[in-house]
Amino acid sequence: MSEGDGKTVRDLHSAIREIRIAQAERTDAAVELRDAEQARLDLLAEALQSVADDIPENLDQFSLAVLPGNPPRFWVDATSFVMLARDRRTYRFLRDTRLGRSILVESPQIDVIADAVTAYVAERIVEGEQAIAAGWTPSLRKDAVAAPIVAPAKPQDMRSVLWGFLGFALGIVGGILLLLAFAWITAS
């Protein structure tokens, strides 16, 4: 640490002050980066506002909203979202599946991502309509649930019942003996 005239600073308070200033500057830079990510995702939300307005009211599976976090994400539905890549300029449209996370589209252009999200939402709406038209709803299809297979019950052997009772009784006797031993040791 040095002052303007070339002398070395050996004052602990000055050194602590300089370190705190440096940490505050680094924190400010991190906050600015996070705010920049949030602002870029807000721009995407504005670009998709007309899509959000056109979604039928009875479909609540789509959120189309930016949720703060680290990193902030623009959620499309419960399994798909848009976030910024490490360069903080490239948008990534991702989907979580049973097999892991997959990148649907990646582009630095907001229009490409907005078009991909619009197509994704439209595809999900059509898939839902087709599923309803085909009659695939678990509450309506009676044959969709197979009857459970029940194994015939074996008559219990009398010996197994006696062994179970004997084990239970020995456990109680052992517990009582341990409790008495503990009381005798603590009393002496």
pTM for the whole structure: 0.57
In a 13 Å sphere around the CA of 185, the CA atoms on its Cβ side amount to 6
In a 13 Å sphere around the CA of 91, the CA atoms on its Cβ side amount to 27
Cα distance between residue 170 and residue 40, in whole Å: 70
DSSP letter, residue 30: H
The predicted pLDDT at position 22 comes to 75
The predicted pLDDT at position 30 comes to 66
The predicted pLDDT at position 120 comes to 93
Q: What is the pLDDT of residues 14-60, one digit of tens each?
A: 788 788 777 777 766 666 777 788 888 988 988 889 888 888 888 88
Give the tokens for residue 181. Answer: 């031993």
Q: Please give the residue that has the higher pLDDT: either 13 or 140.
A: 13
Percent pLDDT > 90 in the chain is 36
Cis peptide leading into 71, omega within 30 of 0?
yes
Does position 64 have pLDDT exceeding 70, yes or no?
yes
Q: Please give the residue that has the higher pLDDT: either 42 or 13.
A: 42
